[in-house]
């Protein structure tokens, strides 16, 4: 977030809880663990988010990544601006089959008009399952 629109004592977790993750993330069981501009962490259960063969669905990894990256970009954007996704890609390298997965989101670039975040999703053994990169464009909030 830029200094001109961010209170120094901003609590990212409180902001995220107040805003909410959205209906899709809630249906998928995504839960925040940590939320700051520098690092955001959330978990998601494998159960209920699998392909027919019992492996974690690749799209579920992407939902976790986009949820974290978009929320982090909006925290950075500040209260008068809006971050919207313009590009996302994912490389899946392992399939979780049980338990929970954890997404860790870190900024690659935090600009005035563009943000880029990398989200690394790991299984309970700490093995990387997916690497997601999301780019968000920051614009002025539309008048309501």
Residues that are catalytic: 66
Alpha carbon distances (Å) from 58 to 61, 63, 109, 139: 5, 9, 25, 29
Q: Which residues pair with 136 in a beta bridge?
A: 85, 115
Distances (CA, A) of 20 to 26, 72, 122: 9, 12, 23
d(CA 8, CA 56): 39
């Amino acid at each position: 977030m830029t200094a001109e629109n961010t209170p120094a004592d901003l609590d990212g977790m409180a902001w995220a809880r107040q805003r909410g993750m959205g209906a899709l993330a809630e249906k998928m069981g995504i839960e925040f663990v940590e939320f700051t501009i520098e690092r955001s962490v959330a978990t998601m259960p494998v159960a209920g988010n699998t392909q027919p063969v019992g492996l974690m669905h690749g799209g579920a990894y992407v939902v976790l990544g986009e949820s974290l990256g978009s929320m982090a970009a909006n925290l950075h954007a500040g209260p008068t601006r809006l971050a919207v996704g313009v590009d996302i890609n994912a490389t899946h390298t392992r399939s979780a089959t049980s338990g929970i997965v954890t997404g860790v989101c870190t900024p690659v670039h935090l600009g005035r008009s563009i943000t880029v975040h990398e989200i690394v999703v790991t299984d309970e053994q700490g093995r990387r399952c997916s690497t997601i990169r999301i780019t968000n464009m920051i614009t002025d909030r539309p008048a309501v």
